[in-house]
Amino acid sequence: MSVLSVHDLTKTFDSGGRALTVLDGVTFEVAPGATLAIVGPSGSGKTTLLGLCAGLDQPTRGRVILAGQDLGPLGEDARAALRARHVGFVFQSFRLIPTLTAVENAAVPLELRGEAGARRAAADLLDRVGLGDRLDHYPSQLSGGEQQRVAIARAFIGRPDVLFADEPTGNLDDDTSHRVEDLLFDLNREAGTALVVVTHDAELAARCARVVRLRGGRMVTAEDPAPDAQAGRTAAPAAPIPS
């Protein structure tokens, strides 16, 4: 049983009257708690694939099954509701809401679900990521690394089944990148959340159990790059990826 299943996913855009296929027949699955990196050069379709997997966009062809739900027939609001229950996000540029404090930002997913105790849970999680003393700071008062840790807290607070990370270390220096990566994988292990990471960073990709490599919209390889990653850094076994 996989938490994310992608089958023959194709996306075509109209570009000045010509059809431009940015994603072409991509198929893979992700098991609960597994880690998967999507890599490839710029323009290879990584972000498009991530958007389709999270239900942010609709494919031209193919199916996405997220947390047991086929996204195809779902409308905008139903997909939003599904994301609220099962999906977490971490973005390259953090995407914190500038008008909310750190703790308020982290609490948003629980508040969206109408759950009680959102603030306490957010404060605990921020404490866990080392920001216990920065709860009431606004994003503009935090460094890039701190902002990304708030974003990670926000992503994990709802205990999602899948966490999508779009270049999570793309805007950070090396040291901070490593700390953020460690945090991602630690929380992934603790929460049993599947991690789908889009990245240029070979080192980050190497820490994932599986890697999907894209070129020109096609999946060129699906490999199992790092025995040590499987052994040491991911708790759950990666799902088999059909070739």
Partner 1 sequence: MSFVPSLAWRDSRKARRRLFLYVAAMALGVAALVAVRSFGANLQTALDEQARAVFGADHQVWNWGRFTESNEALVDSVAAAYGAEVAREVTASSMALFPESGGTRLVQLRALRGGFPFYGEIRTTPDSAAGVYQARGEALAGASRLRQYDAAGGDSIRIGTRTYRIAGRLDGITGQTDVEALVGPRVYLPLDDLDPQLLGFGARYTTGAYFRLPDAVEPDSVLAEIRPRLAAMDLRGTTVTGLEGDWSDALGDLTRFLELVGFVALLLGGLGVASAISVYVRQKAETVATLRCLGATAGQTLRIYTLQAAAMGLLGAAAGAALGVLVQQALPRVLGPFLPVEVETPFVWEPVLVGVGVGVTVALLFALLPLLRVRRIPPLRAIRADARAAGVDVWPWLLGGVLLVGIGLFARAQTGVEAAVWGFPLGVLVAFGVLAATAKAVQRLVRLLLPRRAPYPARQGLANLYRPGNQTLVLLLTLGLGTFLLTTLGLVERTLLAPIALPAEEGARPDLVLFDIQADQREDVRALVREQGLAVLDEAPIVPMRLTAINGRSTEAIRRDTTAPQPTWALTRQYRSTYRDRTVETEEVVAGTFVGGVAPGADVVPVSVEFDLANDLAVGLGDRLTWEVSGRTIESEVASLRRVDWARVQPNFFVVFPEGPLDGAPQSGILITRAGSPERSAALQRAAVEQFPNVSAVDVGLVLGLVEGILDRVAFVLQFMALFSVGTGLVVLAGAVRIARLQRIEEGVLLRTIGASRAQVRRILVAEYLFLGVLAALTGIGLAAAAGWTLALFVFQAPFVVAWDWILAALVVVPALTIGVGLAGSRGLLARPPLDVLRAEVG
Residues lying near partner 1 in the complex (CB under 8 A) are found at: 47-48, 50-51, 54, 56-57, 76-77, 80-85, 87, 89, 91-92, 95-100, 104, 108-109, 111-114, 138, 140, 154, 166
Spatial separation of the C-alpha atoms in residues 143 and 26, rounded to whole Å: 37
Beta strand segments in the chain, E = 4-15, 18-30, 35-39, 61-66, 69-70, 87-90, 162-166, 194-198, 210-215, 218-223
Residue 133 and residue 165 in contact, taking contact as beta carbons nearer than 8 Å: no
Q: How far is the CB of 182 from partner 1 (least distance, A)?
A: 23
* CA nearest neighbour of 67 among 163, 197, 156: 163
Q: How far is the CB of 180 from partner 1 (least distance, A)?
A: 17
Nearer to partner 1, 29 or 167 (CB): 167
Nearer to partner 1, 194 or 238 (CB): 194
Spatial separation of the C-alpha atoms in residues 116 and 110, rounded to whole Å: 8
Nearer to partner 1, 155 or 241 (CB): 155
Q: How far is the CB of 223 from partner 1 (least distance, A)?
A: 24
Q: How far is the CB of 183 from partner 1 (least distance, A)?
A: 19
Nearer to partner 1, 123 or 226 (CB): 123
Q: How far is the CB of 189 from partner 1 (least distance, A)?
A: 23
Q: How far is the CB of 85 from partner 1 (least distance, A)?
A: 7
- Our CA angle for 170, 174, 179, nearest 5°, is 90
Nearer to partner 1, 89 or 185 (CB): 89
Nearer to partner 1, 201 or 224 (CB): 201
Backbone dihedral region for residue 184 (phi beyond 0: left; psi -120 to 50: alpha; all else: beta): alpha
Spatial separation of the C-alpha atoms in residues 160 and 187, rounded to whole Å: 11
